Amino acid sequence: MIDRTEKRSACHFQPEYRHSDVKTQDFYLLIEPEIGTFFRQLSPSRSITMKTPGQDPAAKKFMTLERFINEQERQYANATGDFSGLLHDLSLAAKLVWREVCKAGLVNILGATDRMNVSGDVVKKLDEFADETIYKAMDHGGHLCVMASEENEDILHIPDQYPDGKYVLLYDPLDGSSNIDANITIGSIFSVYRRLSKSGKGTLQDCLQPGYKQVAAGYIIYGSSTMFVYSTGQGVHGFTLDPTVGEFLLSHENIRIPKKGKIYSLNEGNFCNWDGPVQRYIKFLKEQDKASDRPYSLRYIGTMVGDSHRTLLYGGIFAYPGDLNNPKGKLRLMYECNPIAFIIEQAGGRSSDGKQSILRVKPTALHEHTPFFLGSEEDVKLCEEFLKGKR
């Protein structure tokens, strides 16, 4: 029997050096506690050239998220390591949430709690777990002065026993709550700003900054694989979690959204409640016209992070307009729209509230909502023409 309480570091063996036709490679054996089996892995701490059948011998580096963050830091002579430490803490929080998401059907973590959040949504048990996990992973590093969560009405202060830092974190701990029990794609979204206040505890005003002031934003998507997608204003990069080594590995470098897509994504069940310009735009997308490559295909998951991720990779447009029941829509500016818009625009796409870039909207409240349109540049521009009455 394997003692599953044994520290993972105790399960590593000394590296075994072997010769290959490319270069000497470094192997180690790693125990996978969930199934009690040893796997031979290439050491993630080294830069390794790998040769696989049908692949050019000049193979790619084994790039972990941790290493990528550290290499980005070295590009800035005055970097203190605070920002890198913050991102490292976020990656740990992502793994902790992923661990529970993966076994949600096996333990008593599915279902709803007996409370509602500030937006009137029923809080799921996994929502509650993710919210607490992210907060506890981020509260002690000395990188943050304040946090705010979609699940909490007020700002979240750093505990008194820990130092206050120079950054601000806003997050949606688990986007797609209504899909949790159905085992459909969900995700966590985060947004990072520099503080405005000079020192001490962070304030509400530190949190209420327009999206263009974000210094980093991203999301973790829990689906067929788990991905950590983020940007610090220098392009968008995606890392896929390899559960056998517990590392996020670079899988999507410098993601660029297509200039134009063929997919539209929104809850068309609200069609009768939309205003005329939105209805005309959707009808336009469904018309047959080979010259403009129409009709578009409808794809809608119902989880913003999932629909946005597909739009990032395949192009097209994702939208949640205002309607008769919710004039400002249902998406939160600070926790969902700003970080996703930052990612899309960094990848060459476009975002809008129908009048201007989402990143230019000046927030007035932590939980305010906004109409939201984002995606390929040409698709969003065309949508804006309809919204402004130009078509």
Q: Show which residues are catalytic.
A: 121, 127, 150-151, 172, 174-175, 336
Contact between 360 and 213 (Cβ < 8 Å)? no
Q: Distance between alpha carbon 351 and the CA centroid of its chain, in Å?
A: 16
Contact between 332 and 353 (Cβ < 8 Å)? no
Tokens standing for residue 304: 């913003």
Partners of residue 188 on adjacent β-strands: 220
Nearest to 238 by CA among 54, 50, 94: 94
The alpha carbons of the chain give a radius of gyration, in whole angstroms, of 22
User: What are phi and psi for residue 389, nearest 5 degrees?
Assistant: 75, 20
The DSSP-derived string for 272-336 is GGS-HHHHHHHHHHHS-BGGGTBPPEE---S-HHHHHHHHHHH-SEEEE---SS-TT-SSBIIII
Strands (E), the chain: 16-18, 25-32, 37-42, 112-116, 122-124, 144-149, 156-157, 167-175, 186-194, 214-222, 226-231, 236-242, 247-252, 263-265, 297-298, 317-320, 350-352, 372-375
Matching residue, tokens 């969560």 = 149
Nearest to 321 by CA among 374, 371, 270: 371
| 272-to-58, 282, 322 alpha-carbon distances in Å | 56, 12, 12
Nearest to 239 by CA among 117, 43, 90: 90
